[in-house]
């Protein structure tokens, strides 16, 4: 371009700067001319036409965009020039944000037309939550209760007005409730209607219903506690029907005891509408059965208003209760670490009861099972302070006054003397396993008796050998066993039979050995009989009769029978000389590894158990 080449130089920069600056603005066109000439070998006149065409298209696009935006942003309504507000008012309230559930609230709706056109057929409607009960509206002549709408007069420019709606506001405290005011109208000369909307968020703070919960600060993990729930209406207007659900959770149950009004159903208390100043009371019983790890229990009641088909929860009333854990433990051991005992002996049983809970305990009692088949119960009662009944020996504060109270951390000890029967009864390989149970009552209202059980170490009870020895001339049935004159005659031999019975009781006995000694005037005839094993043997040098058996089972009996001869001398006349002396049996109790033995009284010719022989006479003649 000539203008660019003539004026874009140093001379014009200093002497005609306005021409130099204009040339600078045309420099892009100059650069485009060189570009087209160099790349496309075109004349710049054609490039200039193309450049002008592009600028025209760009201008057209910008114009269309501007018109589209203006069309989209164009608002034919006057809602921006119509003001609408909604303000609550509560009597004696600290402010509009302190509305309680159930209070009487007045909402004032203010509206104004700040536009330059009149608004025709305006209608005002306020959408309230379900819990707002409309009681009155002003102006009443323009309010329709069926549609909940005010039909207002036409609003001329710069005019306005207000409407008031009063009623009771029931809802759930601390929950946001949205109230929306709608003003609908049509601009003068137009048919379509416009809507002005004004929302208000209201949060109810508290409730006019007062609820009080009376409950002990501490409850037991296992026990019963009284609870009182008081419901009061301090407001100057009646309250609707009230429902109080009972809280439910693992570890406790609530049982209604009585109520001053309403009806009690499983899990809830139903109350009719409460008049101003009216209060009602509900008494319940809290039965707790909590785990040992629970240290606190939260108990809360949430009363509810019932309005038609709607239920509104009110302020929750609750308490955090401390849970006490009364504990009782019992343990015991046999004296000297004893693990076995011989029948007829006495064992010492040491028992300790400890309060390892957090409450004092009273009326401590201890019960120990003592089977009469193993324990000599008569001697048990004689050796110890307590009472025996039904297989259980019981000790309490009556016998031990210091057992009346047991504070946390304290313990009581007792040593019982346990006499074992001389002949235990029952099965085989007997074990004395006393079950001990301690019981006490926690020092707290409504507390239930707590118990602790323990199984003491077993005490193995050994067996007993029973030895019976009898001398006979006749059997019990009257058959003759003996030979020779009866009564015995000096110088003539009379033969008797010695009948030995050995009975085992409760455990296996090994190496059983029987032994008896013949007096000098008695002779061994050589006749014998046994129920098991080898025959009895006689040793002339020791004058001893012996018999042995490798083992005898529990509850098994064996017999040894042999004949003895007696030739009386003058020194025996009128007497009943002895037949057999030092009668004994010996063995090893394989259950408790203890030697067991038995002995019998000497036998003589008096034959105390042979009635027929005694009729004939037993004194030597």
Q: Tens digits of per-residue pLDDT, 599-614?
A: 999 999 999 999 999 9
* E strands in 384-493: 387-389, 392-396, 405-406, 411-419, 431-432, 435-442, 450-455, 459-461, 465-472
Flag residues of the chain having pLDDT under 70: 1, 36-51, 53-54, 92-97
Other Cβ atoms closer than 10 A to 398: 13
For residue 487, say if its preceding peptide bond is cis, omega within 30 degrees of 0.
yes
Provide the edge-to-edge strand list for the sheet that holds 103-113.
Answer: 82-90, 103-113, 159-169, 132-138
Structure tokens at 515: 């032994």
Phi, psi of 286 (to 5 degrees): -95, 115
Q: Tens digits of per-residue pLDDT, 3-24?
A: 777 777 787 777 788 777 777 7
Q: What is the pLDDT of residue 94?
A: 46
Q: Closest by alpha carbon to 446, among 281, 330, 324?
A: 324
CB 365 within 8 A of CB 396: yes
Residues across the chain: 621
Which residue do the tokens 């602790």 mark? 452
What residues form DSSP beta bridges with 81? none
Structure tokens at 87: 């303000």
Phi, psi of 222 (to 5 degrees): -135, 105
What is Dmax (Cα atoms) for the chain?
Answer: 190
CA–CA gap between residue 311 and residue 86 (Å, rounded): 26
Provide the edge-to-edge strand list for the sheet that holds 329-334.
Answer: 329-334, 346-354, 411-419
Q: Tens digits of per-residue pLDDT, 557-568?
A: 999 999 999 999
Report the relative pairing of strands 176-187 and 193-203 from DSSP bridges: antiparallel
Q: Tens digits of per-residue pLDDT, 330-373?
A: 999 998 888 999 999 999 999 999 999 888 999 899 999 999 99
Structure tokens at 130: 């379900």
Q: Tens digits of per-residue pLDDT, 130-151?
A: 999 999 999 999 999 889 999 9
CA–CA gap between residue 429 and residue 590 (Å, rounded): 10
Phi, psi of 142 (to 5 degrees): -110, 10
Q: Closest by alpha carbon to 468, among 566, 609, 612?
A: 609
Structure tokens at 111: 């509206």
Q: What is the pLDDT of residue 47?
A: 57
Q: What is the pLDDT of residue 318?
A: 93
CB 121 within 8 A of CB 185: yes
Which residue do the tokens 């009581």 mark? 412
What domains can you pick out in the chain, each with its CATH number? 2-72 (no CATH), 79-203 (2.60.40.1530), 213-324 (2.60.40.10), 329-461 (2.60.40.1530), 465-616 (2.60.40.1170)
* E strands in 235-372: 241-245, 252-259, 263-265, 268-271, 279-289, 296-301, 304-307, 310-313, 317-324, 329-334, 340-341, 346-354, 361-369
């Amino acid at each position: 371009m000539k203008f660019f080449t003539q004026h874009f130089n140093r001379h014009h920069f200093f002497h005609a700067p306005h021409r130099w600056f204009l040339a600078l603005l045309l420099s892009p066109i100059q650069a485009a001319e060189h570009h087209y000439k160099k790349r496309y070998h075109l004349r710049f006149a054609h490039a200039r036409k193309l450049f002008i065409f592009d600028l025209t298209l760009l201008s057209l696009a910008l114009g269309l965009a501007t018109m589209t935006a203006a069309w989209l942003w164009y608002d034919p309504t006057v809602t921006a020039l119509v003001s609408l507000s909604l303000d609550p008012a509560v009597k004696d309230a600290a402010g509009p944000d302190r509305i309680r559930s159930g209070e009487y609230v007045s909402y004032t709706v203010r509206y104004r037309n700040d536009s330059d056109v009149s608004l025709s057929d305006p209608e005002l409607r306020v959408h309230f939550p379900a819990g707002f009960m409309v009681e009155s509206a002003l102006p009443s002549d323009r309010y329709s209760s069926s549609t909940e709408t005010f039909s207002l007069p036409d609003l001329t420019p710069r005019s306005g007005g207000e409407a008031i709606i009063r009623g009771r506001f029931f809802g759930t405290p601390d929950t946001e409730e949205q109230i929306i005011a709608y003003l609908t109208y049509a601009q003068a000369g137009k048919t379509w209607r416009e809507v002005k909307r004004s929302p208000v968020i209201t949060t109810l703070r508290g409730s006019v219903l007062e609820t009080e919960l009376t409950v002990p600060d501490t409850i037991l993990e296992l026990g019963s506690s009284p609870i009182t729930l008081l419901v009061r209406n301090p407001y100057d207007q009646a309250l609707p029907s009230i429902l109080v659900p009972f809280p439910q959770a693992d570890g406790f149950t609530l049982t209604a005891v009585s109520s001053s009004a309403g009806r009690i159903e499983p899990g809830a208390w139903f109350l009719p509408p409460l008049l101003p100043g009216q209060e009602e009371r509900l008494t319940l019983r809290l039965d707790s059965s909590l785990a040992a790890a629970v240290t606190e229990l939260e108990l809360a009641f949430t009363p509810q208003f019932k309005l038609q088909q709607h239920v509104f929860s009110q302020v929750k009333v609750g308490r955090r209760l401390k849970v006490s854990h009364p504990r009782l433990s019992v343990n015991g051991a046999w004296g000297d670490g004893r693990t076995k005992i011989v029948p007829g002996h006495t064992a010492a049983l040491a028992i300790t009861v400890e309060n390892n809970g957090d409450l004092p305990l009273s009326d401590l009692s201890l019960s120990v099972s003592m089977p009469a088949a193993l324990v000599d119960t008569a001697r048990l009662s004689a050796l110890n302070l307590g009472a025996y009944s039904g297989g259980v020996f019981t000790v309490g504060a009556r016998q031990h006054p210091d057992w009346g109270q047991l504070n946390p951390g304290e313990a009581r000890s007792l040593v019982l003397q346990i006499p074992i029967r001389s002949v235990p009864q029952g099965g085989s390989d007997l074990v004395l396993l006393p079950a001990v149970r301690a019981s006490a009552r926690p020092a707290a209202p409504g507390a239930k008796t707590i118990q602790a059980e323990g199984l003491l170490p077993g005490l193995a009870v050994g067996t007993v050998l029973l030895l019976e020895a009898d001398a006979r001339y006749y059997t019990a049935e009257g058959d003759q066993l003996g030979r020779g004159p009866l009564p015995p005659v000096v110088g003539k031999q009379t033969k008797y039979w010695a009948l030995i019975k050995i009975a085992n009781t409760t455990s296996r006995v090994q190496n059983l050995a029987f032994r008896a000694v013949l007096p000098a005037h008695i002779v061994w005839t050589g006749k014998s009989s046994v129920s098991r094993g080898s025959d009895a043997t006689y040793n002339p040098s020791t004058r001893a009769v012996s018999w042995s058996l490798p083992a005898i089972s529990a509850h098994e009996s064996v017999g040894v029978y042999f004949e003895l001869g007696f030739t009386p001398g003058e020194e025996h006349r009128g007497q009943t000389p002895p037949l057999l002396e030092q009668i004994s049996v010996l063995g090893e109790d394989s259950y408790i590894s203890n030697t067991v033995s038995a002995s019998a009284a000497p036998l003589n010719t008096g034959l105390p158990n042979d009635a027929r022989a005694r009729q004939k006479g037993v004194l030597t003649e």
